[in-house]
Structure 1
Amino acid sequence: MWSFGDAYESYVGRWSRPVAVEFLRWLGVPPGRTWLDVGCGTGALTGTVLAHAQPAAITGIDPSEGFLDLARQRVPGATFEAGTATDLGGRTADVVVSGLVLTFVPDVVQAVGEFAQAAPYVGSYLWDYTSGMRMMRLFWDAAKDVDPAAASRDEGLRFSSVSAPGPLRALWAGAGLRDVEVTGIVVPTVFRDFDDFWSPFLGGAGAAPAYAATLPPEQLGAVRDLLRSRLPEHGPIELTAKAWAVRGSR
């Protein structure tokens, strides 16, 4: 499900950018630093660092060649390389960041340990899947009403052990990082109409779209119709997305 950069971009990549701006403002890293963006995806956070943080250099790493291809097209001025969060290959920088990544890493403790080894300053952000990322919450609530088995795929349940203030503080402190802080970041997510809201769930890139791809047509149609009944009938659909951000240093 991580092969299609354009599909991921329309799903959540576009919403990651405004979060990234607020995240960098909160980090407050001075200009002229070297950066490593782990799990860079389509380059949303990497490009925001270039635009707002005046880095000396930035490298984005990701295991998906499809995402890296799109990132290289969208973010000139950055270096993009294949790699994983649990093995940074000895790379070092002044700052390590990751956006919307840790919930999908097989060994999150090892990953944060790698971050702390690679740089003296480490920050990350993740969606608040339980209630704050409204487009996903609406989808999973409707999916569970149609298909009770969807509960086992619900990101709000699956990722609660990582994407919350307490677990994030514990991960950063456990990696030996100090002055650990967590904050919430909320941004608007405005969809032109219902099609703009619904069509990204059909792209296969991301946990909810990957689940949607497994549904027979009649069940997928039932989820769509239930969502349509719960959202404004006309005009823009104005929702919000909340992310939890964490930072620490050594």
Structure 2
Amino acid sequence: MEERQRYDVWSAGAAYDRYMGRWSRRVAERFVDRLGVAEGLRWLDVGCGTGLVTAVVAARCRPRTVVGVDRSEAFVAEARASASPPACFVVADAMALPVRDEACDVTVSGLALNFLPSPVEACARMARATRPGGLVAAYVWDYAEGMGLLRSFWDAAVETDPDAAALDEGRRFPVCRPEALRAVWAAAGLVDVSVVPIEVPTVFADFADLWDPFLAGQGPAPGYVAALAPAARTRLRDALSARLPREPDGSLALTARSWAVRGRRPGPG
């Protein structure tokens, strides 16, 4: 596990946003809209990263408060730079949330659950932070099948380096599947649990638009690329390029599917 985690680098918010944030933002909008909750609520965004979900909540839900929590000081600094009231951000670990029990009406998390040491314990902590009757929801990429960018990347990586199979996020994160997510939410004592797909287009202007963000070293796949010798990196780039279909104008049209899970803390509400 430690060997795999050394590639999980989260230290440059702008680089991450170009790599993954631009697609996560689209999912975050659909995720928040589907929650269908009232205005004036207290929100907590766990593993907020650069603040994409928090920003969507602030813009669309008229929250009473919305607090984003992340352990990366660099990502929180990026989030604070563009934040406006009522959004605020705190540097803290998702496994030690800096809020009292039952302090929130809605607790959410975007693309973070699978990176936590215990998804079940993390969900239980999110549930404890939520009032009875409140909502706990999250979304994660469908790494195994539906996230076209990363599925193509890891297939090319394993083709050029069989040892990369151990790093493949589709294998690393079995929690990112519907039945596993339902089980996590149920284990945390949540009820009325449902899991639905959210799919968005991911269109790249050309191969450089797709490949260059992998060179910035933010996240597992870019972290793996950064650790490669130049010749191995070139082999991987060429193998990935060969796998991807081009449109007549040279663009690459893929799709990204996430799984969104939600449940309610038992009690009045």
What corresponds to 1:158 in structure 2?
172
Aligned residues: 249
Equivalent residue runs for 1:1-250 within 5 Å: 1-77=9-85, 78-91=87-100, 92-119=103-130, 120-160=134-174, 162-231=175-244, 232=246, 234-250=249-265
Distance 1:138 1:55 in 2: 38
Distance 1:143 1:247 in 2: 33
Question: Is the contact between residue 135 and residue 263 of structure 2 (CA under 8 Å) also seen in structure 1?
Answer: yes
> Equivalent residue of 2:63, what SS?
coil
Give, in angstroms, the shift of residue 89 of structure 1: 2.7
Normalised by the size of structure 2, how large is the TM-score?
A: 0.90
Amino acid of the structure 1 residue aligned with 2:122? A
Unpaired runs of 5+ residues, structure 2, are 1-8
Unpaired runs of 5+ residues, structure 1, are none
Distance 2:193 2:41 in 1: 20
Normalised by the size of structure 1, how large is the TM-score?
A: 0.97
> Equivalent residue of 1:135, what SS?
helix
Give, in angstroms, the shift of residue 21 of structure 1: 1.0
1:78-124 per-position Cα deviation (integer Å, ceiling 9, x unaligned):
11001111111334211100000011001211110100000121000
Instruction: Indicate the RMSD between aligned Cα atoms, in angstroms.
Output: 1.1
Distance 1:18 1:89 in 2: 28
Higher mean displacement: 23-32 or 225-234 = 225-234
Amino acid of the structure 2 residue aligned with 1:140? W
Higher mean displacement: 230-239 or 175-184 = 230-239
> Equivalent residue of 1:239, what SS?
strand
